[in-house]
Amino acid sequence: RKFYYITLLRDPVSRYLSEWRHVQRGATWKTSLHMCDGRTPTPEELPACYEGTDWSGCTLQEFMDCPYNLANNRQVRMLADLSLVGCYNMSFIPENKRAQILLESAKKNLKDMAFFGLTEFQRKTQYLFERTFNLKFIRPFMQYNSTRAGGVEVDNDTIRRIEELNDLDMQLYDYAKDLFQQRYQYKRQLERMEQRIKNREERLLHRSNEALPKEETEEQGRLPTEDYMSHIIEKW
């Protein structure tokens, strides 16, 4: 059995706002072990952003102010090999070097995946998936731009703050969009080339059928006469 790694990426600002709304409604990741290199992080390596059972009702400002918030650069962290930077041990290597290693690791792993899609490009994502795995979905993907994150009104300063907190995700998403468009264009060109070859073969077949003499066609379809068959049997 062969397994493929695939993923979907989302615009970092929209994704961050969506996670905040999710947490605001009481969602937690308490069951997540955050295993890395065979162990879980210590409380000192991964402090909690809140006290109590959950962080329901937290404001966006509170969400952004927590320096340990795993929502920050979540897409890079989940795609990268954390063992390269000492997992959740922030003192393992300098912060700038850690960030660069994580980003490059996330880019490499994304590029090596058989498929990845972008939430903001549903139809193209469907097309790439179908062409990559040679299958066809029953229904076309729908592009829903009305999401919980889309209903959040934030000012430009807040958007810039979210972009700063998710700088690695922003860089990864720019890289992903470029790679996604390259893969999409390649598959489209390949499809057009295959269609041209198919059309040419069909035209050649049609011409060869037209060029075949009518008498020859009839001769090929005529069965041997009874006398001829008897002669063959006698010879045999």
In the prediction, which pLDDT does 150 show?
Answer: 60
Grade residue 208 by pLDDT with cuts at 50, 70 and 90.
confident
Residues of the chain with pLDDT > 70, as a percent, come to: 87
Of 25-34, 102-111, 163-172, the one with minimum mean pLDDT is 25-34
How many Cβ atoms from other residues are within 10 Å of residue 11's Cβ? 17
In the prediction, which pLDDT does 236 show?
Answer: 45
Mean pLDDT of 121-125: 96
Q: Are 50 and 58 in contact (CB under 8 A)?
A: yes
Grade residue 198 by pLDDT with cuts at 50, 70 and 90.
confident
The first and second tokens of residue 160, run together, are: 């810039």
In the prediction, which pLDDT does 219 show?
Answer: 52
pLDDT tens digits, residue range 49-59?
Answer: 999 999 999 99
DSSP code, position 133:
H
Distance separating alpha carbons of residues 234 and 236, to the nearest angstrom: 5
In the prediction, which pLDDT does 82 show?
Answer: 98
Of 2-16, 64-78, 95-109, 198-212, the one with minimum mean pLDDT is 198-212
**Whole-number average pLDDT of the chain:** 90
Q: Hunting for tokens 């299958």 — which residue is that?
A: 135
More confident residue, 43 or 210: 43
In the prediction, which pLDDT does 130 show?
Answer: 97
Q: Which residues contact 163 (CB under 8 A, 6 or more apart)?
A: 12, 13, 170
Mean pLDDT of 149-175: 94
Indicate the burial class of 188 (C-beta count within 10 angstroms; 0-12, 13-18, 19 or more).
middle
Grade residue 224 by pLDDT with cuts at 50, 70 and 90.
low
Residue type, 123: R
For residue 7, give the H/E element and its range: strand 6-9
In the prediction, which pLDDT does 4 show?
Answer: 94
Distance separating alpha carbons of residues 183 and 78, to the nearest angstrom: 22
